[in-house]
Amino acid sequence: MQHSPGAGAAHGLTGGTSLSLFVTHPTGERTEHLLTQEVKVGRLPECDIRVASAFLSRVHFIVRWEGDTLVVVSQHKLTASGSTGIGRVLGTYVNKQLVVGTRPITIGDRISPMPEPGPSDPVFIVGLTQSPTPAEQLPAAPKGMSGMLVGVGCVVLLGIIAAVVLSVVVF
């Protein structure tokens, strides 16, 4: 399915050309998702793009077309300075800038739940459609808190390993 006629003209898109959101999941898996009129991103099964990450809200952000403009709408509940989770400032960031409300996005923009995502954090990049991942092949979101706790546990374990390695290197 392509976006509405005329949508994307400001980005130089022509008939038959569409945009996708390329996702790098916390597992390292990469998927592509066609950007239709509105796409919800978060942990809930009802989201169009589900990502199992302790750093995403149930519905973290929405990408939608407003006329010819593609926008990201932050759904993460935060103050203007972001919210803190596991020692990080969380929110919806586009190219390292915090989004409060709605912000236009374009090809090449990077959306993430923190300004400096780590190697196991989810990252979303807007690009020209290549070959979207069918919905039935997408990774399932975790049920309940167990998935969140596993993600938090991995982050804590990585922090401990890094501290040990640094202490060995320094001494």
Give whole-number Cα distances, 15 to 32, 66, 74, 95, 125, in Å: 20, 18, 29, 28, 22
For residue 94, what pLDDT is reported? 97
3-state secondary structure of 110: strand
Q: How far apart are CA 45 and CA 66, in angstroms?
A: 25
For residue 13, what pLDDT is reported? 56
Share of the chain above pLDDT 90, in %: 43
For the cut 80, the answer to whether the pLDDT of residue 148 exceeds it is no
Sign of the C-alpha dihedral, residues 87, 90, 111, 151? positive
The residue that leads in pLDDT, 137 or 18, is 18
Q: How far apart are CA 82 and CA 3, in angstroms?
A: 31
Instruction: Give the helix/strand (H/E) hosting 147.
Output: helix 146-170
pLDDT in tens, 27-57: 889 999 999 999 999 999 999 999 988 889 8
For the cut 50, the answer to whether the pLDDT of residue 149 exceeds it is no
Q: Which are the contacts of 142, defined by CB distance < 8 A and separation ≥ 6?
A: 43, 52, 148, 150
Q: Which fold, 9-142?
A: Tumour Suppressor Smad4 (2.60.200)
